[in-house]
Chains A and B, each alone.
Chain A
Amino acid sequence: MLNDSWHSLLLNPLKVNELMKVTRIHLLRRYMVPVAILFGFIPLRTSAQPSPQEIADRSLQAFYYPAADMSVRLSMTLTNSQGKKRQRNMTLLRWNSEKEGDQRYFVYFHSPSDVKGMTFMVWKYRGGDDDRWIFIPSLNMVRRIAANDKRSSFVGSDFTYEDVSGRDVGDENHTLLRTEDLNGRTSFVLESRPVGSAAYARRVSWIDAERWLPLKEEYFDSRDQKVREFTADEVEEIGGYWTITKRSMRNLQTGHRTEVTFSSIEYNVGLEESLFTERYLRQPPRRWIR
């Protein structure tokens, strides 16, 4: 079996992915990529190895900025250390501004019932504090809220606001530690240290060398204890964009974890800038809220 695999691999490099799916042999997975690299089937980019900065930038682009806009239904499960679960369901709309790095986000909460109909809007600026608004339907009230707390939990989950809407590449200094295989994907292992104050002292990311998505991230505190861990649990190609459709964030200190499943993902649906205004906070755009 092993010999057959080697043989076909050498004969037909296109079979690499297919083989990985079919055989699922650990040993094979471990050695296939280096061997393939050795035989020149996967370009190692030794000639044009991307800089750590470039890896970080491309990863941010792939993770937070794909397409001109996106519509997605999120299901978020919060599990505490006793296994007690809480669930949040929301629709998220994202629009990329022509001004590079700037984005607008609109979130509509479907459940739990106490927050049903609540909406939340973020105007994200590269290199500056975001603007945020929240709408409370029972009071028919829009409030602008301060946004200098990017490290705060997003709706009680293990994800922070920053995790949800992204960082700027210049917020951290990046170092490429190594290139290694993670679950069959060649990954750049990048260490990023925040330039200013942050909730972590450093983070280590495994970034898919082909799709540029982060497959795993580990966050360390100032005593170099690993405190949080992000994993991309499922990745799918949707509308030509590789998308993490299931992701988890674990707090390793408290045992609390959050799993987020993306469904009904659509890219380039034609969202307009005018959608991201107070008007639609009060009157959610039903065409897009499903």
Chain B
Amino acid sequence: MRDSLMRGAVALVSAPMLVLALANPTSVFAQVEISGFAQVNYAARITGTSCASDTACDFLLGEERVQLKLEGFSDDGSAGFKGRLDFFNDAVVGRSGTEVREIYLDLISDYVTFRAGRQIVTWGLGDLLFINDIFPKDWVAFFSGRPLQYLKIGSDALKVDFYPGFLNAEIIVIPFFEPDRYPTGARLIFPDPFPAGLLRRVETKRRSFENVEMSSKLSRYVADWEVAVYLSRTFYRLPAQSLDDSASPVEVHLRFPRLNTFGASLAGAFLDGIVNIEGAYYDSERDRDGSNAAIENSEIKGLVGYSRPIWSEATLGVQGQVERIQEYDSYKANLPVRFRARDELRWTATIRYTQPLFHQSLLLNLFVFSGISEKDGYLISSARYAFTDALWGEVGGNIFFGSDKYYSRFGSFDKNDNIYLSVRYGF
């Protein structure tokens, strides 16, 4: 139902554009460009685990994909469109189909820009640590070695940007809720805190005005520093899980409760590098007193990041993040016995090292999450080589550390260590 509605919405937005473009492409859009890529992407589990029968076991990922990118814009640059459409065959879960990554229309003037349609939005300053970027993400893609661009999912939305001069204001209205693609047993193995054999019932948000999400960002430069404030009324995109009946459960309910965020960020040059500071208050509207164990408590999140070139072409980035649970006593008191309590302050650190070699035809990349509080971690390493301008290949690994007995962000995925291969031909 949700998917068909979404398709309807996309069609609604894209149909006038296609009619216009097909009627006479050169007169409507002075320039139309077609590009894209063909890609194969495989990932193999290296932990040698035995899996449930419905879980992709030795291979997490085996897919072929073609992306067509179509862009057009008028001569004076006041109007344009972009579409990115993927055709894929996923051998691991036996599925093939199409995926609309983005289709949007732009109307541009000196002071206002409208963008309507399915679009990817990225806000905030964290490097793979997201605080004010509350837009949908695909964690399964991220954990299973797909290219980074697949971490982000489009939102079907209307975005209006104002440029009055003294600041930039961005407002995004998302009528149709899009959850994260969160880990499931189809590809990933992780401990289930609930009794075995329960059905999962995933909440479908009604397409109502009440469920419209809104986000805004105000930003400007103050001296040499980019200052931004963020305000959002959205939903958690990772599900809150609860049993339908704690005495004799039949189903696990997965719901996406209301989330309001208030945040700010600051970025600028400092000591030969770039420093990022970002923070936000997460107001968990449905569980402000912290008594509902299924729903996240309100939290305060903050991060500081610093990156700089270290030697020839190489860049090093480090980040530290802390997340503080509000109403911690209430949280602990209401936590079910099978769950391990989080620390009141959860500390995370990351390191990124990037080294291009051979005139940037080889790119080495290492990223490590260190879950300081939960004593777990996640290492992503990759080597990408451009054989020609059109064809590159990448090998890499996703390695998780920590105990997989309890839920912890990285440790619980310990059985999903994998190596992956991507090869892409761009055109």
Contacts and interface: CB of A to CB of B under 8 A. Distances in A.
B144 to A, nearest CB: 18
Nearest to B80: A286
Interface string B126-161: 000000000000000000000011011000000001
A156 B356 contact: yes
A157 B71 CA distance: 28
B119 A283 contact: no
B378 to A, nearest CB: 19
A152 B269 contact: no
Contacts of A170: none
A111 B389 contact: yes
Interface residues of B, number: 51
A86 B388 contact: yes
Interface in A99-136: 111-114, 116-117, 129, 131
Nearest to B272: A148
Contacts of B312: 151-152
Interface in B293-343: 307-309, 312-313, 315
A238 to B, nearest CB: 24
B381 to A, nearest CB: 20
Contact of A112 (B273, B309, B313, B389): B389
Given A112-B426, A113-B426, A144-B226, A286 B73 contact: yes
Interface string A254-290: 0010000000000000000000001100010111000
Interface in A141-157: 141, 144-149, 151-153, 155-157
Interface string A202-242: 00000000000000000000000000000000000000000
Interface in B170-226: 224, 226
Interface in B345-394: 356, 359-361, 386, 388-390, 392
A113 B427 contact: yes
Nearest to B425: A113
B11 to A, nearest CB: 22
Contact of B390 (A78, A113, A145, A151): A113
In the complex, which of the residues B31, B122, B151, B389 has the most CB atoms of chain A within 10 Å of its own CB atom? B389
Given A86-B361, A256-B359, A139 B120 contact: yes
A140 interface: yes
A131 B149 CA distance: 25
B89 interface: no
Interface string B55-74: 00000000000000001011
Contacts of B309: 146, 148-149, 152
A174 to B, nearest CB: 27
B274 interface: yes
A140 B152 contact: yes
B88 interface: no
Contacts of B389: 86-87, 111-113
A279 B220 CA distance: 11
B76 interface: yes
A80 interface: yes
B267 A144 contact: yes
A138 interface: yes
B288 interface: no
Nearest to A123: B224
Contacts of B403: none
A283 B168 CA distance: 14
Contacts of B119: 140
Contacts of A152: 309, 312-313
B37 interface: yes
A111 B152 CA distance: 23
Nearest to A258: B359
Given A112-B390, A139-B152, A146 B273 contact: yes
A275 to B, nearest CB: 11
Contacts of B224: 131
B121 A155 contact: no
A113 B37 contact: yes
A109 B76 CA distance: 19
A153 B363 CA distance: 14
In the complex, which of the residues A80, A116, A140, A153 has the most CB atoms of chain B within 10 Å of its own CB atom? A140
Given A129-B269, A139-B148, A286-B77, A279 B37 contact: no
Contact of A148 (B77, B308, B361): B308
Contacts of A256: 359
Contacts of B424: 114
A146 B272 contact: yes
B371 to A, nearest CB: 24
B120 A131 contact: no
A287 B73 CA distance: 10
B35 interface: yes
Contacts of B388: 86
Interface in A244-262: 256
B113 interface: yes
A278 B163 CA distance: 11
A276 B258 CA distance: 38
19 contacts: A86-B359, A113-B36, A113-B37, A113-B427, A114-B37, A114-B392, A114-B426, A116-B426, A129-B272, A139-B148, A140-B122, A145-B307, A146-B273, A147-B269, A148-B272, A148-B308, A155-B360, A256-B359, A285-B77
Closest 10 CB pairs of A and B: A156-B360, A286-B77, A113-B426, A138-B149, A112-B389, A149-B309, A156-B359, A148-B272, A141-B122, A287-B77
